Chain A
Amino acid sequence: MDYNLILAGVGGQGILSIAQAISVAVVNRGWVVKQAEVHGMAQRGGAVQSHLRFSDRKIHSDIIPLGRADMILSVEPLEVLRYVQYLSKDGVIVSSSTPFINIPNYPPVEETMDRIATVTRHVLINADALAKAAGSARASNIVMLGAASPFLGFDPEELEAAITQMFERKGEKIVNVNKTAFRFGRRAATAYEQAIKGGKTGHEAREWLEGLKPEELEGACC
C-alpha cells in the first residue's frame, strides 16, 4: 500500500508534529516513510508544506507528483488551495476552518471554504475550538491529526500510541490532552463526513457541528 499526504499550513503552526506522529506510527508498523520538510526562511510566518509518503515497499521521490496525493491535510483553510493540483481523483481534503490571517489580502473566509467544498471528499472542522475543549489551544494540530485519521488506513490505537511516544517526555497530562484532542478531531471528521453523505452542504455541515459539544460528537448523525 502507498499513501501520499500533503500537509499544509503557516510557519509555526505545528504541521511537522503531525507529520512526526504519522511517521512514528508508520515506523512502528515496520513500513517505510519519506517526509520532506520546509526549514529556514519560509518558517518565519510563510506558507509551509510537508510531503509525507508511506508504504510497505520502496518509495523513490521525496516529493509527491501532481495528482497523486491521497490527502491534503491543512491546519488553515487558504493553504489547502495552494496544493489542490496535487490531489488525486478520489483524494480527500481535511482542513481546519480557522483562518490564519497574517497577510493584508486574505480572501473572504466563507468564499475560501466554499472553494474547498467544491471537492466532494472534504472535511472542515473548527480545530481551535476542539483543541480548547480538549484542554489546550496548542493541541489544534493534533485535533487535525485526529480529523485525518479515519482516512489514513491506521487503527486509531496506532496513532494514539504514536502520540504517547511523542509527548511522554512532557508528562502524563500533556499526553492526555493530546489524546483527547485526537479523539475530538476524529469524531468531528466522522460526523462531518456523515453529514455530507446525508446531503448537507459544507456550510450546513459546519453549522450543525458548531452547535454540538465535543462530547456529543460521538456517533452524532444528521
Chain B
Amino acid sequence: MMELLLGDEAIGLGAIHAGISGSFSYPGTPATEILEFVAKKTQKAGKVSARWSANEKVAYEEALGMSFAGKRALVSMKHVGLNVAADPFMNSALTGAKGGLVVAVADDPSMHSSQNEQDSRYYGQFAKVLVFEPSNQQQAYDMTREAFEVSEKTGLPVMLRVVTRLAHSRANVETRTPLEPTDVGRVTQTADWTLLPVNARRRYRRLLDVQKDLAAYAEASPYNELNLKGKKGIITSGIAANYVEEVIGENSDFSLLTIRVYPTPRNLVRKLVEHCDEIIVIEEGYPFIEGQLTGLLGVPGKTISGKLSGALPEDGELSADLVRRALGMKTIQAHDAAGKIPGRPPQLCQGCPHSDSYGAILAAAAGDERPYMFSDIGCYTLSALPPYNAIDTCVDMGASISMALGAAKAGRHPVVCSIGDSTFIHSGMTGLIGAAHENANMTVFILDNATVGMTGGQEVFATGESLVSVVKGLGVDPEHIVTIVPMEKNHEKNVALVRREINYKGLSVVIADRACIQAMRKMAAEKKKSAEKEKETVKV
C-alpha cells in the first residue's frame, strides 16, 4: 500500500507494523508526531498503548518495562529529551532488551525549535548500541521495522536517529504486511536486569563482547552503500545523502560511501579511503564520522575535508547549496535575495493568557530593582522577546525553579520564576519539593493553561484543582498558594496579589489559571463536531 507520510509518521507506522504493544513519548519538536500518529492509527483497534508520559525518562522506563515484559516498545523524543532519558538509556544497554526496544530520536540542526543542536549519534556510540540513520521516509519505515527485529536478535535497544527535515517532510511510502503485536514471553531469570555491581560488571563485559557482532552487522547492512569510481570520494550519511545525490546526480565520477547504520563501518571507510586521494565527509549534525576518520592525527597522504576543515559550516543544517559549494560547484541563482526584509519571529497569540500573566508580574515587580526572572521551556519562552522582555533564562525543562532556588540561596531577593503546567509536571516538581523543604525565599509562577501549548495542545497530567493539590502535596504552605485568573479585567487585583507574594519572605506559588486559547478553539470545534454527530444519530 502507498501512503503519504511525514518522516515521523513513517517511523510510527513502521513500529505499528513491526508489532509494537506500546509507544511512549513526551511532546517535543520535531518528534511529537511519532506518538501522535501511533495513537491516532491504533486507537480503534485498541491493541497498542499510546499515551504521553510525564517526561522522557519516564517514557523510556515504561518502554523498557514493556520490553522486559516480552512485548515490543517504541520510545520517541527530541534530541534534548534524550538528555533527560540518558540514565535509563545508558543502563538499558547493560540490562539489554527482551521484546524489541527502539528509541527514535529526532535531532534539530539549525535549532528550529530547540535550545541546542546536539547530535544523538554520540549517545548511540556512548551506549554502544546500533544506530540507524535513514535518508528518507521509505527508509524510516523500513529501518524502523528492521530495528525491532535486530533489537530482539541482539538483545539490545536500537537507536533510530532522524533530523527535522526528515521528521517534518512528507513523501510517498510503500508499506508491507503488518505484524500483529508480538510477544516473546515471560522471562524468569532476571539477574541481568538487576544492575548490582556484580551483575553490572558481567553485563558490561557482555556489551563489550558483542561489539564485534554489531560492527559486523553494520558492515554487512545493505543500507551502508559503497560505490567506488574516481579518485575523489564522498562519505555521507542519513539526510545529507539526499543533498549529495541532488548535487552530483547519477553519472558523477565521485566514489561514494553512504552510511546509514552505525557503528561506523570501518572496512567500508577503509576501502573508500584507500581508493581515493581526496575525501570529503558530508553529514548532518556534528562532524561525527569526520572526527572518527581524522582522529587526532589525520590520515597521512590523503586530503580529508568536511566540517572540521571548514569546507562545510559546523553549525546549522546542510542544504544542497552548501554541498554544491563544498564540492566547488557554483549555485544556480537567478534572482538576488530581496535585500532588507523585516523578520517575523514567532510570538504569543492574540489574547494568550501568558500575555496577561507577564503583564501582571512585570507591573507588580516595577519600581524596585528588576527581580531575577528565571523561566522555562514552552510558548511563554516567547515572552523573552519584545514587547514583554519578561524573562531572563531558558535552559532546560524544569530548570526555572531549581535555578531560582540557587539564586535565592545566593541571598538575592526578590527571585521570581515562571514555568508552564506541563513543564512543571515534567521536571519542575522535583525542584519545588526542595524549595518547599527549606521554605526558600522565592516566588514560583505556574502558568496553568491546561495543555502542552507549543507542541500543538497535548494533554497534561495535572491542571486546575489537581495542580493545586500537587503543589500542596509537595509541601508548599497553603497560605502562600495563590490562584489568579490572568485576564485584563483582573489586572489590578492580580498585580496586588502578585506584589504581596513577591514581597513575602518565604516560598510562594502563584498559579495563573486560564486555558490556552488555541486549545479552547480546538475543544470548541470538537464539541461542535460531537454535538452534530449526536444530532445525526438521533435523527437515524
State the A residues within 8 Å of B (CB).
10-11, 23-24, 27, 32-47, 59-63, 65-68, 78-79, 81-82, 84-85, 87-89, 91, 102-103, 105-107, 115, 119
Contact = CB atoms under 8 A, between A and B. Distances in A.
A62 B335 CA distance: 21
Interface of B: 2, 4, 6, 29-30, 32-33, 112-113, 165-166, 168-172, 239, 242-243, 245-246, 319-321, 324, 331-338, 341-349, 379, 382, 454-456
B343 A47 contact: yes
A107 B473 CA distance: 53
Contacts of A103: 342-344
Nearest to B7: A62
29 contacts: A11-B346, A23-B170, A33-B170, A33-B171, A34-B169, A36-B165, A36-B170, A37-B170, A38-B168, A41-B29, A44-B348, A45-B346, A45-B348, A47-B343, A60-B242, A60-B245, A60-B246, A62-B165, A63-B243, A65-B319, A66-B333, A67-B331, A68-B332, A82-B338, A84-B337, A84-B338, A85-B335, A103-B342, A105-B342
Contacts of A45: 344, 346-349
Nearest to A85: B337
A34 B4 CA distance: 9
Which of B341, B344, B456: most chain A CB closer than 10 A?
B344
A41 B112 CA distance: 7
Given A34-B169, A42-B113, A88-B334, A65 B324 contact: yes
A106 B341 CA distance: 9
| Max count, chain B CB within 10 A of own CB: residue among A27, A60, A68, A87 | A60
Contacts of A61: 242-243, 245-246, 319-320
Nearest to B333: A67
A62 B168 CA distance: 10
Q: Which of B2, B166, B242, B333 has the most CB of A within 10 A?
A: B333
B421 to A, nearest CB: 18
Contacts of B349: 44-45
Contact of B347 (A59, A84, A102): A102
Contacts of B171: 32-35, 59, 62
Contacts of A27: 2, 4, 172
Nearest to A171: B532
What are the 10 tightest A-B residue pairs by CB atom distance, in nearest-first order?
A: A40-B29, A40-B113, A46-B346, A81-B338, A60-B246, A62-B169, A89-B334, A44-B346, A61-B246, A47-B344
